[in-house]
Amino acid sequence: MPGLRRVLAWHAAAGLLTCMPALAPGADLAFRAGEGDRVRSAAAAMQWALLDSLPCTAACTARLHLQGGVGYWWLPYDSSGDSLWDWSLTPMLIIANGKVPAPVALELGVGVHYFSHDALASIRNFGSRWQWGEFIGAAFPLGEDPGKALTVRLEHVSNGGFAAPNNGVTFLSVGLRFRLGGAGP
């Protein structure tokens, strides 16, 4: 019963996420949803700071984070009801301009994805369960708390040509990010 499995999986993920503040103080929790190439996605991710101070000009800050996430992809315009799970691990560079009243941060990432299936119906055949993912985006702080942000991303996932076919997907997504355990840098 696909509907029941989906509900149980989301409840299990929500239960795990409620424990995260105790397991990862100072990490970020992010949720995002997007659509592209007739595929929709919803994802939750944890982001851990690897390096909080990279060399940058006096007017900016640069940080290196590691993002681990799980996503769910489905075909909203197809009657097949096909879907897949996406697990990802992505190092990401965050560059912020600290001189403007509402600093906007640039986010860049390149990482690996593993899919539960190598196809979505007959519409998308990815050629492999292993994929590359890259994104560019912006994070807009919500209010005075730098630990909360609205994010917008353009993300591309494909196998990079190491398997055929190579029907990748490009998403535009929006999301929310929260610092666990309070505000951070």
Q: Which amino acid is at 93?
A: L
C-alpha span between 21 and 14 (Å, rounded): 13
pLDDT higher than 80, residue 3: no
Domain boundaries, the chain: 31-179
52 burial (CB, 10 Å; 0-12 / 13-18 / 19+) is middle
- CATH architecture, domain 31-179: Beta Barrel (2.40)
Measured CA to CA, the distance from residue 147 to residue 182 in angstroms comes to 7
Range in 64-68, 84-88, 165-169 with the lowest mean pLDDT:
165-169
The partner residues of 62 in beta bridges, in order of sequence, read: 95
pTM for the whole structure = 0.83
Asked whether 138 and 107 are in contact (CB, 8 A), the reply is: yes
Per-residue pLDDT of 133-182, as tens digits, reads 999 999 998 987 778 999 999 999 999 888 888 889 999 999 999 988 75
